[in-house]
Amino acid sequence: MAASIIDSKIFGDIFSDAKMRQVWSDENRTAKYLDIERALAKVQGRLGLIPQEAAEEIVKNCNLEQIDWAKLKAKTEQIGYPIIAVVNQINANCRDKLGEFCHWGATTQDITDTAAVLQMREGLALIEQDLADISASLAELARTHRDTPIIGRSNLQQATPITFGYKMASILAGIERHRERLTQLKPRVLVGEFGGASGTLSSLEKGAMETQAGLMQEVGLGQPLISWHTVRDNIAEVGNFLGLVGGSLGKIAMDIKLMMQTEVAEVFEPYAPGRGSSSTMPQKRNPISCLYIHANISVVRQHAAALMDAMVADHERSTGPWEIEWVVLPEIFCLMSGALKQTKFILAGLEVDTVAMRRNIDLTHGLVMSEAVMMGLGPYMGREYAHDLVYDLCRQAIAEQRPLLDILAEHNEISKHVTREQLEGFCDPANCLGQAGVMVDRVLASL
C-alpha cells in the first residue's frame, strides 16, 4: 500500500513521472548494486586479483531475477544496509564458494554511493530532455509573439508595455542557463566511489588504483581523485541544481496563474473538458498544472536544504547524515519530474489571448504610457519638470475619468511644444516597446 504522494495510485502520475520513479525504484537501485559487483569482479579477474573462474561465476550470478526480495528485506532490516544482503545472495548462488571473491576490497558505501551516482545519471538524462522540450516550447512562444504587446507589471501594478515574446524569452534565457549548468556539473558529480573502509583502499595490497580505474571505466563514471565518503558537495550540488530549476518552473507557474485570473485572462492552461472545473461554480476554469508545479518545487527546495545538512558528516564514515540522502534524493528527482512534466504540458498547449493583452494595456486609458510621455516632453521642458507635470495630469485623468491623451492635449504648456499627433505617438504602446524585439532575437540566436 502506497503512502507517498509519489507512489500513489491516484496522484503518482500528477506529482511525478513513471520513468523517474523507475530510476529510483528498489528494482533499479538493486540492479545498480549488481552492475557494480559484476563490473568489480570482471576488472579484478582481468587484473588477476581474484581467480578468473571466480570472476566468471560472480558475473553469471549478478542477476536481478535471482534476487530473493523477502530475504533482501529481512537482511537489510537486520543489518541496516542492503549491500551485504545482496552480496550474500550472489555468494550463495555461486558454486564451490567462488562467490567469496565477490565485493573484494570494497565497502558498503562504495557500492551504495556509486549506485546512487548511476541513478543520478539516469535521472539527469530525463531532466535534460525535459529542459530541452521546455526550451523548445518557450522559443516557439517567443518567436510567435516577438511583437505582441502586453503590459509589463511591477509590484502587481501595470508598468510599461513589453511584448509577450519578450516575457517568454526572458524565462527561456534562464532555462538555457540551467541546461548549461547541467552540462558543467556532470563531470563533477558523475564520479563513482571505490575506497574501502576509510577510503584509502588499504584492503587491496596490489592493483588498488587499477581496480578503481577499471571499475569506473566499466560503469561509465569518472574516477575520483580521492575518496569522498564524507565529502558530499557533489550530491548537494545536484539537489541544489534541481532546486534552481524548480525556481524557474515556479516562476512560469506563478505568472500563468496570475495571467489566468478572470480580470486578466491573457493566457490559459491547455483546455480539456472538465479540467479545472469547480464542484460548485460551473463557470470556473482553475489553473491545475500550475498548482502542482508550485507544490512540488516548494518541497524540492526544502529537500535541497536537507542535502546541505547531509554535508555535515563526521570523520571518514558518517553516523546518520548519509541516510538523509537516501530519503530526499529520490523524492527531489521524482517531484522535479512531475513539475517538469506539468510545465511541458502547459507550454506546449498554452492558450494566448492577444486581444485581452491589448485590452489590458488600454485599461487605464493611457496612464501606462506616462513614462513615454515624460521622456517625450523631457527635451522641451526638462525630465524632472516633465515628470512632475505628467504626474499631476495623471491624477487629473484619474479624477475626471478621462483619457490621458485628452488631458495632455488640452494643457497649454504642453501644446506649446508638441502637437496632438505627437502626443498620440507618445501614447501608442507599439512605440514604447524599447529593445524587446532585439532582445528576443538575441536569445533565440543563442540557442
Q: Are 288 and 253 in contact (CB under 8 A)?
A: no
At 2 the pLDDT is 81
What single-letter amino acid sits at 369? Answer: M
DSSP state of 352: E
Per-residue pLDDT tens digits for 404-416: 999 999 998 888 8
Check residue 1 and give its pLDDT. Answer: 82
Mean pLDDT across 72-82:
95
The domain over range 359-445 is classified in CATH as 3.40.640.10: no
3-state secondary structure of 192: coil
Do the first three CATH levels of 13-141+163-352 and 359-445 match, i.e. the same topology?
no
Cα separation, 439 vs 75, whole angstroms: 60
Question: What is the predicted pLDDT for the residue at 277?
Answer: 66
- Which among 343, 22, 8, 423 is positioned nearest to 174, based on CA atoms? 343
Among 230, 217, 193, CA closest to 115: 193
pLDDT at 209 over 70: yes
pLDDT at 110: 97
Q: d(Cα 435, Cα 438) in Å, to the nearest integer?
A: 5
Contact 111, 39 (CB under 8 A): no
Residue 314 has pLDDT above 90, yes or no: yes
DSSP annotation of 367 reads G
pLDDT of residue 190: 98
Q: Is the pLDDT of residue 399 over 80?
A: yes
Residue 309 buriedness (CB in 10 A; 0-12 / 13-18 / 19+): middle
Cα 267 to Cα 180: distance, rounded to the nearest angstrom:
29
Stretch 337-347: mean pLDDT: 98
Task: Evaluate if residue 284 carries a pLDDT over 80.
Answer: no
List phi, psi (to 5°) of 17.
-130, 140
Cα distance between residue 52 and residue 59, in whole Å: 10
Tell me what pLDDT residue 3 has.
Answer: 87
Model-level pTM greater than 0.85?
yes
Which pLDDT score, from 0 to 100, does residue 424 have? Answer: 87
Print burial letters for 259-290: b (CB count within 10 Å at least 16), e (below 16): bbeeebbbbbbeeeeeebeeeeeeeeeebbbb
Question: What distances in angstroms separate CA 447 from CA 143, 172, 175, 177, one per listed residue?
Answer: 12, 10, 11, 11
Q: Give pairs for 211-214: CB < 8 Å, separation 24+.
A: 211/40, 211/43, 211/44, 211/47, 211/49, 211/105, 214/43, 214/46, 214/47
Please state which architecture CATH assigns to domain 13-141+163-352.
Up-down Bundle (1.20)
Mean pLDDT for 434-447 is: 97
Instruction: Kindly report, residue by residue over 94-124, the tens digit of the pLDDT.
Output: 999 999 999 999 999 999 999 999 999 999 9
Q: Which of 177, 188, 275, 278 is catalytic?
A: 278
C-alpha cell at 18: 513513471
317 is known as an active-site residue: yes
Mean local confidence (pLDDT), 134-154 = 97
**Under 8 Å between Cβ of 377 and 417:** yes
User: How distant, in Å, are the alpha carbons of 114, 226, 239, 304, 305 from that of 309?
Assistant: 20, 22, 12, 9, 7
Contact 75, 85 (CB under 8 A): yes
pLDDT band at 369 (very low <50, low <70, confident <90, very high): confident
pLDDT tens track for 16-28:
999 999 999 999 9
Candidate list 143, 153, 179, 317, residue with the active-site label = 317
Give domain limits for the chain: 13-141+163-352, 359-445
pLDDT beyond 80 at 280: no
Q: Is 315 helix (H, G, I), strand (E, B) or coil?
A: coil
pLDDT for residue 276: 65
pLDDT, tens digit, for every residue of 234-262?
999 999 999 999 999 999 999 999 999 99
Q: Report the largest interatomic distance among the alpha carbons of the chain, rounded to a whole angstrom.
A: 106
